[in-house]
Chains A and B, each alone.
Chain A
Amino acid sequence: MMKNGKLLVAPALLWLSIFFVIPLLIVVAVSFAGRTPYGQVIFSFTIDNYLRFLEPLYLKIFADTLVVAIVTTLATILMGYPLAYTIAQLPKKWQQPGLILVMIPFWINFLIRSYAWVIILRSQGVVNTLLLNLGLIDQPLQMLYNDMAVMLGMVYALLPFMVLPIYVSIEQLDTRLLEAASDLGAKPLTAFRKVTLPLTMPGIAAGTILVFISSLGMFVVPDVMGGAKSALIGNLIQNQFLSARDWPFGSALSIVLAVLSLVLIILYYKALQAQEGGDGDAKDVA
């Protein structure tokens, strides 16, 4: 492919360098720049923007973001794995419809879907109205504008990113291995723990990476459903660019986030390689 197809990758390389590499370099450059009081970027070399990130206020936002991301990831694993498993066990003709149901929300703009949650959860919303009319509660429950709401929105938004890779890894799992485990005396739960789970770990890891990194950068959900109280690093970055007009600080925050994501991805591949135990070498020995 590389030998004969070099020209074929040229358009993609060109596209990526113009619209990805160059903008990224600009962000890196801006993150080391200063600014005038009115938000004009001045190109000089300073690491002040990065040092500012170490202020307690920002570290706390960062820590909050990490907690939300971790909880979101765990919740999507716990909910996504059984869902993916169930879809993968459906008869072949029902698996495709099952996956489409998981993906249908993508057909609607994410912002609109977030506001839909507001309509469902707010004080005069669908849930509260129903519960009030049924006489189950006396006054509306406060379900919006708190951490629970942010978490709910995140899990809702990112669940498909967990379900799809896990589904793929379960679907690829050779069911004869489970028969072999059962034949060798493993009860269903043991077979799941000893065979299914380790062999679908790559799917869980891929989903984890997708969900964790997406939730680190998420700003729509906390904005719409979290109210003013829950600011995450995504909102902070958004504010620096759109309201505070502090592009250098916003850039520095973006770079921190990007580097963190990169480190996580590298760790993921390292772990994957270790798990497969140097698969590539010495495949056909005899």
Chain B
Amino acid sequence: MKEMVRLQGITKKFGNNVIIPSLDLTIYDGEFITLLGPSGCGKTTLLRMIAGLETPTEGSIYLDDENVTALPPYKRDVNMVFQHYALFPHMTVEENIKFGLMMKKVPADEQKERVAQVLYLTQLEEFRNRRPQQMSGGQQQRVAIARALVNNPKVLLLDEPLGALDYQLRKNLQLELKNLQRGLGLTFIYVTHDQEEALTMSDRIVVMNKGVIEQDDNPDNIYHYPSTKFVAKFIGESNFFDTETETLALRPEKLNLCEEAESEDKAAAHPEPAFYGTVVDVVFYGTIDKVFVRLDNSNQTVVAYQYFDDVKRWTPDERVGIWWYERDEVKVQR
């Protein structure tokens, strides 16, 4: 695969405040890669450094094999979709989209053609003469994407582009964006703190915490085989069991509940419970019940997801055994 962006020994400090200690990352051509992490983890700073809006304190940034570390944003062949769109309020939709082409002195008829193309692609044709402030959030979002895409950048940078939209709209736009990226074969670097968004859209997820990459893998592995406790906690829910030598992470849907006193043949049908405990709460979530169990002889409460076709529905104060298959255990770094 062809390298598109290479970050080499990137360090970023604001005064004495170290945002990114030292980071290496390679992004390949045509990839949809997501930088995922809580706010303040350095993901946006990293994206802004690729755009040229921030300068790394140390390290180098390569774009398509060219060292761009010292280049200002207007000399880099990348474009950004900003978190709050940052559309020019004194220009129409069409003027906003045309801005980048005008800056690059693209011939007028080619400008027209390319603008028409992205207007079609983003279904904005009927809004071309509107001002941004006359449009809904979802429409403004599309304009922001069109304004960046029209320049045919080598890499499209997206900084929480769906963060300001409501849930339903976000869901729809996630799919649209993913399809757009697949269709154009463009490299997308996407920043979000929304793990669900990351899992749905990405080819690869880079989970960041305090400026450090915790895990860099495909969504499947990130979810099923988190390599650190942080990743297991940040993406989905996890139960942790500490043994003398290691920590085991278990997804709630992998925990099974059984009655404390079972008939022999029932008990023989599954592994022996690792723990016994008392149900403290049962919360209905539509497709599942979340059952919270306080373990005997410890303060730990674990959560197990119960699908209704599985087993009986539990009620608080019931005694339960908790068992799982060994294959579902994930050893994580503490």
Contact = CB atoms under 8 A, between A and B. Distances in A.
B84 A176 contact: yes
Interface stretch (B38-46, B107-115, B128-136, B237-245): B128-136
A122 B53 CA distance: 53
Contact of A183 (B74, B84, B90): B74
Given A177-B88, A184-B151, A185-B100, A285 B82 contact: no
A183 B88 contact: no
A179 B151 contact: no
Contacts of A273: none
A181 interface: yes
Interface in B89-110: 89-90, 99-100, 103-104
Contacts of A174: 86
A186 B91 CA distance: 15
Contacts of A224: none
B136 A184 contact: no
A176 B82 contact: yes
Contact of A184 (B53, B72, B90, B99): B99
Contacts, number: 74
Interface in A124-182: 174, 176-177, 179-182
Interface string A188-204: 00100011001100000
Contact of B103 (A185, A198, A275, A281): A185
B153 to A, nearest CB: 9
B80 interface: yes
Nearest to B136: A286
Interface in A227-286: 275, 277, 279, 281-286
Contacts of A198: 90
Contact of A185 (B74, B131, B138): B74
Interface in B30-86: 51-53, 72-74, 78-80, 82, 84, 86
Nearest to B127: A285
Interface string B131-172: 101111011000000011001000000000000000000000
Contacts of B138: 286
A80 B53 CA distance: 29
Contact of A286 (B133, B135, B148): B135
Contacts of B52: 182-183
Given A176-B82, A186-B74, A195-B88, A181 B99 contact: yes
A182 B86 CA distance: 12
Contacts of A60: none
Q: Which of A183, A194, A198, A199 has the most CB of B within 10 A?
A: A183
Nearest to B147: A184
A241 to B, nearest CB: 45
A185 B89 contact: no
A187 interface: yes
Interface of B: 51-53, 72-74, 78-80, 82, 84, 86-90, 99-100, 103-104, 131, 133-136, 138-139, 147-148, 151
8 closest A-B pairs by CB: A185-B103, A286-B136, A184-B100, A180-B86, A176-B86, A182-B73, A185-B74, A183-B80
Interface of A: 174, 176-177, 179-187, 190, 194-195, 198-199, 275, 277, 279, 281-286
11 contacts: A180-B87, A181-B88, A182-B53, A182-B72, A183-B80, A187-B74, A199-B89, A277-B131, A279-B134, A285-B139, A286-B139
